[in-house]
Amino acid sequence: MALEIDIPRAATPGPTGLFALVGSDGHVQAVSRSLADYTGHDSNDVVGRHFTDLAIANDLPKVIGRLAQVANGQLDEHTGTLQIANRHTGAFDTFVVCAQPFDLGDRTAAIVSLLPAAPAVPAAPTDDDRASYLAEFRLSGREREILDLVDQGYRVSTIAKSLFISPSTVRNHLSAIFRKVGVTNQAELLERLKQTTG
């Protein structure tokens, strides 16, 4: 069950309400309802997972290391950037991470607040030709979501982490997409998509 904790407003800088408590081991100990909603998951599905399952960044191991140092009291704060998948738009939005120590009584953690850093990157081209082209293949919602992420250049492992599914499940969805679109691999799929957007 998700840890319910009252976080004082002063402890969560910024207006978004997107925050998580991250332990020194990198695992999420609590998450705000707004962050759980943003990622499209129930709080119970997020708590206990490693923070790397929620976010991507070029230097994610460094970010996680800094969060551990904050949680252990070795750093007073940490600021960096990372991306989190927005399940409502399918985009990976960039956030500034602001982490500070947070006392849980019997232990400390890092309270990680996420502040918007840049406008969201659109999930996929939205022109009418592409939409009508894809509609004829009758892709499921999950297949469309995976297709949009593949089209943005994300790899199977990253897609799996961001959607909280296994890499083999992503591959199964990709196989179904290949079959429906009439291609045999990801390169052919991307080429087919490119042709529909001009």
Answer yes or no: do 108 and 147 share one domain. Answer: no
Answer yes or no: do 138 and 181 share one domain. Answer: yes
Return phi, psi of residue 157, to 5°.
-65, -40
Contact (Cβ atoms closer than 8 angstroms) between residue 22 and residue 3: no
pLDDT given at position 170:
93
* Per-residue pLDDT in tens (0 to 9) along the chain, 198 residues: 444 444 544 344 444 577 888 888 888 888 888 888 877 777 788 888 888 777 776 667 787 888 888 888 888 888 878 788 777 777 777 777 788 888 877 778 888 887 776 444 444 445 555 666 677 888 888 888 888 888 888 888 888 887 888 999 999 999 999 999 889 998 888 888 777 655
Answer yes or no: do 41 and 95 share one domain. Answer: yes
Output the DSSP codes for 2-22.
PPP----GGGS-SSS--EEEE
Give me the residues paired with residue 99 across strands.
78, 112
In CATH, what number is assigned to the domain containing residue 98? 3.30.450.20
Answer yes or no: do 42 and 70 share one domain. Answer: yes
Burial class (CB in 10 A: 0-12, 13-18, 19+), 85: buried
- Compute the distance between CA of residue 158 and CA of residue 54 in angstroms, rounded to an integer: 10
Domain span at residue 96 reads 9-116
Answer yes or no: do 16 and 112 share one domain. Answer: yes
How many domains does one find in the chain?
A: 2
Inside any domain, residue 56: yes
Answer yes or no: do 165 and 110 share one domain. Answer: no
Answer yes or no: do 14 and 111 share one domain. Answer: yes
Return phi, psi of residue 72, to 5°.
-85, -5
pLDDT given at position 198:
53
Of the candidates 116, 140, 170, which is a domain's last residue? 116
What number of helices (H) and strands (E) belong to the chain?
Answer: 8, 6
- Compute the distance between CA of residue 108 and CA of residue 94 in angstroms, rounded to an integer: 27
Of the candidates 89, 116, 143, which is a domain's last residue? 116
